[in-house]
């Protein structure tokens, strides 16, 4: 048992209360010391490093606004749409809470995508931060599930039919598909049972998992330390012994980066408020116009598309057609041939590669393209988990990689944005071809990374982080 700390009888009331709390809850003060005041972060953070704290802020906004929305929402197929209208029209400040929640959903994905891109360009997934990256990818998966389930709750036309399309995709899985779709829906069509299931998961189950993963993500990060734009560790040169041996290239997270994050939060909240008060629908991207029409199982909208943050993956799903399968088969065969010719081991491994290629090609020819579309959509997310082992570059940060790497990463971002735009557009022959090329580029970027990440001569990496006071 820890000894009680004594304090002067002449101390202020605040100091006495702090000492009283410290003696009775020392774990709280220890957590503050470990994760804030004595957690040393690299001193060369730039603006890319505010998006992690912004994601945490938006998570809090979503939880708080969600609590108030649940007070008035009715998870009933006959009452759900009307309850949302009641919140918007009759509940005091209900319109503000609803718009904060709907805008927060899009804001969440914006800051998470930017946060993940920062990790991509600065190599934040490489040793020793593989587990930090994996926890982050799991958070992304949970966030997608949370957003999809919440998307159904307004019970508008796009909510209903979007859920109908996505849930029906699971039926394409061989053997278990129809039963899995039935299990998810709770009925043979999207109905009141589906609404209740999605409501339960959206409000209770997924948020609990999400919060646990966020805590794990932060603990894992603070155990190994933060990465920085130079991609080098700060645990090298130490300060004199009287400074407790802290790294010379690090500064305490509090107050230096708490102030840094407060500034970012201020800018974010101004933009966030501007969207809420002046453009909460964001031209139909944050809130689709069809979702202001009650769900009608007998009237299908002319064009069904998911909300914007899913559209890059939805575009990849639509890209997998019967003729696209032949292009994929060609890629599998070429990849197998490349592996056979490059394998330096005995013929046994080459035979395994050849047999595996034959099995995959046979499966691709025998199973419907719809299933492979679902596999492609899921694989586009799952492949992110393997990024720490796909990147073979000798340096972490984009700053010290060959210059052409920057253009390749730029093409990746442009390709992702194009796929997202095509996902909200009605199907067309030209759009189909572009999305097919974009899908091949997306997977080629990752699957060929073990090869292209080694190409070129990296620039010299400094021994200590580069920092200019500002």
The span from the CA of 425 to the CA of 418, in Å, is: 11
Whether residue 254 is annotated as binding a ligand: the answer is: no
Secondary structure class of 341 (helix, strand, coil):
helix
| Cβ-based burial of 345 (10 A; exposed 0-12, middle 13-18, buried ≥19) | exposed
- Residues ≥6 apart with Cβ < 8 Å to 134: 385, 388
C-alpha 459 chain-centroid distance = 30
Please tell me the total number of residues recorded for the chain in this structure. Answer: 470
Query: 336 in helix, strand or coil?
Result: helix
CA distances from 107 to 147, 186, 273, 312, 390 (A): 12, 31, 11, 17, 29
CA distances from 442 to 142, 255, 339, 414, 423 (A): 22, 40, 20, 11, 15
Say whether 405 counts as a known binding-site residue. Answer: no
Q: What are phi and psi of 251, to 5 degrees?
A: -130, 150
Q: How far is CA 397 from its chain centroid?
A: 21
- 142-145-151 Cα angle (round to 5): 140
Residues in contact with 121: Cβ distance below 8 Å, sequence separation at least 6, in sequence order: 48, 397, 398, 409
Which candidate, 305, 348, 297, places its Cα nearest to that of 435? 305
d(CA 281, CA 297): 24
Which residues have C-beta within 8 Å of that of residue 378, sequence separation ≥ 6?
Answer: none
**Angle CA(461)–CA(465)–CA(469) in degrees, nearest 5?**
135
Q: Are 333 and 361 in contact (CB under 8 A)?
A: yes
Does 72 appear as a known binding residue?
A: no
Give 44-58 as a DSSP string: T--GGGGHHHHHHHH
| Cα distances (angstroms) measured from residue 41 to each of 46, 169, 226 | 12, 44, 6
- Give which of 420, 449, 411, 410 is closest to 317, Cα–Cα: 420
Alpha helices in 170-205 (DSSP H): 177-185, 192-200
Question: Which DSSP symbol is given to 303?
Answer: S
Binding residues for a ubiquinone: 222
Binding residues for heme b: 101, 115, 202, 217
Binding residues: 101, 115, 202, 217, 222
């Amino acid at each position: 048992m820890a000894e009680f700390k004594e304090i002067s009888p002449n101390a202020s009331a605040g100091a006495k209360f702090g000492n009283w709390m410290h003696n009775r809850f020392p774990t709280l003060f220890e957590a503050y010391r470990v994760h804030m005041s004595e957690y040393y972060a690299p001193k060369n953070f730039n603006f890319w490093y505010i998006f992690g704290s912004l994601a945490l802020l938006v998570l809090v906004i979503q939880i708080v606004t969600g609590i108030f929305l649940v007070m008035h929402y009715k998870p009933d197929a006959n009452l759900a749409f009307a309850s949302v209208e009641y919140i918007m029209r009759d509940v005091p400040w209900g319109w503000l809470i609803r718009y904060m929640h709907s805008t927060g959903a899009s804001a969440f994905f914006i800051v998470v995508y930017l946060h993940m891109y920062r990790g991509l360009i600065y190599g934040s997934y490489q040793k020793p931060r593989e587990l930090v990256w994996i926890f982050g990818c799991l958070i992304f998966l949970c966030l997608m599930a949370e957003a999809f389930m919440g998307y159904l709750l307004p019970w508008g036309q796009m909510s209903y039919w979007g859920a109908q399309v996505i849930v029906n995709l699971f039926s394409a899985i061989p053997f278990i598909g129809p039963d899995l779709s039935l299990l998810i829906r709770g009925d043979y069509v999207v109905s009141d049972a589906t609404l209740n299931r999605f409501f339960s998961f959206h409000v209770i189950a997924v948020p609990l998992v999400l919060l646990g993963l966020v805590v794990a993500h932060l603990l894992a990060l603070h155990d190994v330390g933060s990465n920085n734009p130079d991609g080098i560790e700060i645990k090298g040169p130490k300060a004199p012994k009287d400074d407790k041996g802290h790294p010379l290239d690090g500064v305490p997270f509090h107050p230096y980066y708490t102030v840094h994050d407060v500034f970012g939060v201020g800018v974010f909240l101004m933009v966030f408020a501007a969207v809420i008060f002046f453009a909460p629908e964001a031209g139909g991207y944050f809130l689709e116009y069809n979702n202001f029409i009650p769900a009608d199982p007998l009237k299908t909208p002319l064009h069904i598309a998911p909300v914007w943050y899913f559209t890059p993956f939805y575009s990849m799903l639509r890209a997998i057609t019967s003729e696209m399968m032949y292009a994929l088969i060609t890629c599998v065969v070429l990849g197998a041939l490349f592996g056979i010719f490059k394998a330096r081991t005995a013929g046994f491994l080459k035979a395994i590669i050849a047999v595996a290629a034959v099995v995959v090609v046979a499966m691709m020819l025998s199973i419907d393209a719809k299933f492979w579309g679902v596999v492609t959509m899921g694989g586009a997310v799952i492949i992110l988990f393997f990024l720490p082992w796909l990147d073979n570059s000798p340096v972490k940060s984009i700053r010290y990689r060959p210059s052409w790497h920057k253009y390749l990463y730029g093409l990746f971002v442009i390709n992702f944005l194009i796929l997202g735009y095509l996902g909200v557009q009605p199907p067309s022959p030209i759009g189909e071809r572009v999305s097919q090329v974009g899908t091949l580029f997306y997977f080629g970027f990752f699957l060929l990374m073990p090869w292209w990440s080694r190409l070129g001569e990296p620039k010299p990496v400094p021994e200590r982080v580069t920092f200019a006071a500002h």
